[in-house]
Amino acid sequence: MTSILVVAEHRLGQIRDITYEMLTKGREIAEKLNTEQIAVILGRNIKEKAKRLSEYAEKVLVFEDEKLENFNSDAYQKVLMNFLREEKPILTMIGHTSYGVELAPRLAASLNIPLATDCIDIFFEGENLTVIRQMYGGKVNVRATLKKGSGYMVTVRQAAFTAKKPLQPINGEIIEKRSPLAEEITLKRFIEYVLPAAGGVDITAAEKIVAIGRGVKDQANIPVIEEFANLLGAALACTRPVVDKGWLPSERQVGSSGKIVKPKLYIALGISGAFQHIVGMKNSDLTIAINKDPNAPIFGYSDYGIVDDLFKVVPALKKKIVELKGQKTV
């Protein structure tokens, strides 16, 4: 077989978006190679969910087992190792998500299948697989080829592809498979989910956001920015490093491990634009970025860019806005 195989991802009863993003890209590749796409889903009481996957795939294979109720890379690896050895897909796609990064490298190593992680594009040139991925926090793109193997595996970056249902649903066959898990998985056990603490500020509801990154340099500089945000009527948000340093609470974090925001105005101050952050803000209506580095990736996602020291521009901007507001009240 030379099928394209997509490992579906779900959590708390929901199929995750990355699944449809991969199925959309996989469909395109399968059609080019004139082969079929297979979706595989592992879980408990998930057969109903398989129907939507069948719109994209010729076959949907369902492994039902109570041991698969919550994601466990150890259990997934055991099931998928067996199955991939039988099926021998030419390409296996897994999300570059908290689940995929836990599963894919180990699965690839155990099967001795070349793996490229965090891909933003994937294409075959003859029988060779070429991928595009990023280095240096998104500052550089890399075109790379995979070593020839009995198949290939990739993990796919979230939101790298836009999910789109096929015009003609494939309505592929749904096939129930026997779970090969005989014994309990004991080396690694899922215990529970920990929900984020209910925060005081919901940045996803804000129309305007002023966000800060590493370039803010010191916690002592934050009040100045906060005043500026207040003046604009904007919520203050930030990147991951600011939360890691303990300067702002995690409820303020924009990005793949934080919040996804779509405000009318996003002002990025001292944010270089690592992809984990970009994912969280790239759909803002108007983005203005201030950064000292003219090559900061954030500029590639901004409408207006200012290459300067934010601590020079922000005070000037504050002054101008205060003046303007003064005029208005007169």
Partner 1 sequence: MLDIIVCVKHVPLTSEAELKIEANGRKIEKTGLVFDINEWDDYAVEEAVRIKEKLGGTVTVITVGDEDSDNTLRKCLARGADKAIRLTDPKFEGSDGYAVAKILYNVVKNLRYDLILTGFQAGDDGYSMVGPILAEMLQVPHATLVKKIELDAGTARVNRELEGGLEEVVEVRLPALFAVQTGINVPRYVSRMGIRKALQKEIKVMNLAEIGLKEEEVGEAGSWLKIEKLYVPPLEKQVKFLKGGPEEVAAQIVEILKSKGML
Site for partner 1 in 237-266 (CB under 8 A): 240-241, 243-246, 250-251, 253, 256-260, 264-265
Residue 163 within binding range of partner 1, rule CB under 8 A: no
The count of residues interacting with partner 1 (CB under 8 A) is 104
Segment 202-231, which members bind partner 1 (CB under 8 A)?
208, 214-215
Per CB under 8 A, which region of 40-48, 53-61, 175-183, 314-322 contacts partner 1? 314-322
Instruction: Pick the piece of the chain touching partner 1 (CB under 8 A) from 84-92, 104-112, 173-181, 222-230.
Output: 104-112
Other beta carbons within 10 angstroms of residue 18's beta carbon come to 27
What Cα–Cα distance (Å) separates residue 146 from each residue in 13, 67, 117, 149, 161? 35, 34, 11, 8, 21
| Binding residue (CB under 8 A) for partner 1 from 34, 162, 186, 327 | 186
**In whole angstroms, what separates CA 228 from the centre of its chain?**
31
Six token digits for residue 157: 């970056």
Tell me whether strands 152-156 and 115-119 are parallel, antiparallel or unpaired.
Answer: parallel
Q: Please, what is the minimum distance in Å from the beta carbon of residue 58 to partner 1? A: 28
Per-residue contact flags (x/-) with partner 1 for residues 14 to 43, judged by CB under 8 A: ------------------------------
Map residues 112-151 to x or -, x wherever contact with partner 1 holds by CB under 8 A.
--xxxxx-----------x--xxxxxxxxxxxxxxx-x--
Strand-strand pairing, 115-119 and 235-238: unpaired
7 phi and psi angles, rounded to 5 deg: -90, 115
Q: Which stretch binds partner 1 (CB under 8 A): 37-45, 164-172, 188-196, 221-229?
A: 188-196
Residue 37 or 287 with smaller CB distance to partner 1: 287
Nearest-angstrom CA–CA distance, 168 and 281: 33
Of 56, 268, 76, nearest to 179 (Cα)?
A: 76
Nearer to partner 1, 172 or 255 (CB): 255
Within 8 A by CB and 6+ apart from 74, the residues are 185, 187, 188
